[in-house]
Chains A and B, each alone.
Chain A
Amino acid sequence: MIRSLLAFTLFILCSTGGEIIITHAMKIIGEPARLRPREVLEFLWRALRNPWFWTGMPLLAASFYLLLLLLSWEPISLVIPASALNPYVFGTLAAKYFLGEQISSGRWAGVALVCAGVALVALS
């Protein structure tokens, strides 16, 4: 039980951390001037040369393996809903505190509805 809790905490830290760091990298790079193949390829090339991108990617890879570990230890009906809710619950909080996103009450309400919906879908 302690082993699973530890792995789940690490999973949340790695997946939320990885996604927030990659979002930070993309914000530094800036959006492509136009959505045309050349500009998009240039944008992706800039992303691949950004050190924040390569900080986030290993964290996401680690979170994937931690999820596999958790799936081998705990019932799928517990792991999948818990991991599915991760980007909405912890991701929204991290976006607020680390990326400075303004989460209005409307967005919180929407996130709460999506959380409830995803939990029901993942449990069915």
Chain B
Amino acid sequence: MKRELRLRIKTFVMILVMVVCANAGDLMLKRGMTKIGVVPLTLAGLRHAFFLTVTSATIWIAILFLVGFTASYMMLMSWADYSYVMPAGAFGYALLTFLAVVFLHETVSPRRWIGVALICIGVLVVGLTKPRTTEVIARAAA
């Protein structure tokens, strides 16, 4: 029982890390590319954009977040079910909506709010199931 609880907490924390890293990475990438501006599709334009990209601190922070997302996703898959992590991770849509309202003061349509509510209930329902229903192959083989 204690082991099950520990697995739940570990999975929940890692899903949180994964979702935050993915959203923060996307946001920083968007901010970084907005600063760089429209990239002209010429050799000189692409070369200049590449130089601006690799020297931009914002882009590097975005890359760090996206590396964090990939690492947390890979770790989650090593102990939790795919069919548990993917729907549970959908609460990123809800988080993004809340962040857009609080920080960007965006107006959110009723349809989107209904969607967010359904996602939250769905994540809660999935969260009540067992995070892992298969044996870890590496352990089972040992």
* Structural contact, B126 and A95, CB atoms closer than 8 A: no
A-chain residues with CB within 8 Å of residue B133 when the two chains form the complex:
101-102
Q: How large is the interface on A (under 10, 10 to 19, 20 to 34, 35 or more residues)?
A: 35 or more
Q: How far is the CA of A107 from the CA of B84 in the complex (A)?
A: 8
Q: Which segment, of B27-35, B40-48, B49-57, B85-93, faces chain A? A: B85-93
A-chain residues with CB within 8 Å of residue B126 when the two chains form the complex:
106-107, 110-111, 114
B104 within 8 A of A: no
The contact of A120 among B112, B123, B127, by CB within 8 Å, is B112
A59 within 8 A of B: no
The majority secondary structure among interface residues of chain B is helix
* Structural contact, B119 and A121, CB atoms closer than 8 A: yes
Q: Looking at the assembled complex, report how far the CB atom of B10 sits from the nearest CB atom of chain A, in whole angstroms.
A: 8
Given that A107-B129, A117-B117 are known contacts, is A101 also in contact with B134, CB under 8 Å in the complex? yes
Q: Mark B94-120, 1 if CB is under 8 A from A, else 0.
A: 000100000000001101101111111
* Structural contact, A104 and B129, CB atoms closer than 8 A: yes
Given that A120-B111, A124-B109, A124-B111 are known contacts, is A113 also in contact with B119, CB under 8 Å in the complex? yes
B64 within 8 A of A: no
* Structural contact, B97 and A121, CB atoms closer than 8 A: yes
* Structural contact, A44 and B71, CB atoms closer than 8 A: yes
Q: Looking at the assembled complex, report how far the CB atom of B72 sits from the nearest CB atom of chain A, in whole angstroms.
A: 10
B-chain residues with CB within 8 Å of residue A23 when the two chains form the complex:
77, 82
* Structural contact, B97 and A28, CB atoms closer than 8 A: no
A-chain residues with CB within 8 Å of residue B136 when the two chains form the complex:
27, 30-31
Residues of B within 8 A of A (CB): 10, 71, 74-75, 77-79, 81-84, 86-87, 90, 93, 97, 108-109, 111-112, 114-130, 133-134, 136-139
- List 23 A-B pairs, Cβ < 8 Å: A20-B82, A23-B82, A30-B78, A30-B136, A32-B75, A40-B75, A43-B74, A43-B75, A99-B81, A102-B133, A107-B129, A110-B87, A110-B124, A111-B87, A112-B122, A113-B121, A114-B119, A114-B123, A117-B116, A117-B119, A118-B115, A120-B118, A124-B112
